[in-house]
Amino acid sequence: MIPLRPELFSFTDPKSLCRLTCTSKTLRKDVRESKAWARLAEAQLPPARPRDAAGEALSHVRSQVRRRLLVDSLLWSKPPPTVRPNKFDDFTYFARFSTDDGRVFWEGDLKPCPEQKWGYTLLLDDVWAEITRSEGWDEMETFLSISTHIEHEMEWRDALDRSLARMSITLVAIRDEDQAMVSLGHMRYDACNGTAGQAEQEYIFRPHQGIHHATLPLFQSARFYLNPTASLHVTHDTAGDGTLDHLEFRLEHYSREAIGSHNSEGFVDILERHRYEYLLSYLAGVHHHARGQALATIENWHIEAVAAGIVNG
């Protein structure tokens, strides 16, 4: 017989104690009777803070008040709550410019600009100034110093492949009032939407759809889904003063019902700004009694598109 030394359990770890317990039925009984787990927990847990009687009493009162308010709300005859959408200005946007190999060019919080009808804009003037001061994005500086004119097309495309084509934009919206977060997606370069030869250009980023990774839609239903897009607006300047100007976001509506000979992706429409705000508010969280109403409203957007003939339902 090897006597068990209960006081030594304070110096062991959970993994070793588990192994000891599984060794034999006798040892399992001895471990239980010596209260080994309690001794181990006492040794590993941080020392308890001194009890604050006044603080505990206040916490108890608050808890009781909240319970009574909840019970009262269930008993009173009240109309169901309605959804009051937030505005884009009610959110802060955390953005990251990076590559898939983990290289981060810039990340930080951005606030939206004044209202627009379709999308919303995040200014990048200060971001670009910070990037150039840090000298951390040589590929982009080179790209912005090349003209998009047809005479420089090959040079421009090579620079694009070394900068935007390897870059991704990841966005998270944080509601200011309660810090609720909504992932707006991980987007990769998709196409250029500018006019060749013009200094000001718009580069479109869409949710990444790769072989081993695909970003889920921002919202998905049985009949349609909604995807965010990001338009990176830049200025090319051969004198070396090219800049990142702003980032503009929109919400695109897709459906299998819209797929046809001239619409292989099932694109339906770009949703107006107030609908994007509504969806963002719903994803950030609304009263649980208002969720049904919110979902019905979002589903109705597709029904309206079908009724208007935009979708062949």
pLDDT at 51: 61
Once rounded to an integer, what is the mean pLDDT over residues 103-108?
A: 90
- 116-125 pLDDT, tens per residue? 655 688 989 8
Min mean pLDDT across 10-19, 129-138, 228-237, 257-266 is at 10-19
How far is 276 from 49, CA to CA, in rounded Å?
47
Q: How many CA atoms lie within 13 A of 241 on its CB side?
A: 1
How far is 236 from 167, CA to CA, in rounded Å?
18
Paired tokens of 257: 């019902």
Beta carbons within 8 Å of 43's beta carbon, 6+ residues apart: 9, 10, 11
Once rounded to an integer, what is the mean pLDDT over residues 131-150?
A: 86
Reported pTM = 0.71
pLDDT at 75: 66
In the chain, % of residues over pLDDT 90: 31
Q: What is the mean pLDDT of the chain?
A: 83
In the chain, % of residues over pLDDT 70: 88
Neighbours of 101 (CB within 10 A): 6
Once rounded to an integer, what is the mean pLDDT over residues 269-279?
A: 92
pLDDT at 282: 94
Residue 216 buriedness (CB in 10 A; 0-12 / 13-18 / 19+)? exposed
- 21-49 pLDDT, tens per residue? 777 777 777 777 778 777 777 776 655 55
pLDDT at 313 over 60: no
Contact 275, 173 (CB under 8 A): no
pLDDT at 283 over 90: yes
Neighbours of 211 (CB within 10 A): 5
Once rounded to an integer, what is the mean pLDDT over residues 248-260?
A: 91
- 214-231 pLDDT, tens per residue? 568 899 999 999 999 999
pLDDT at 187 over 80: yes
Residue 58 buriedness (CB in 10 A; 0-12 / 13-18 / 19+)? exposed
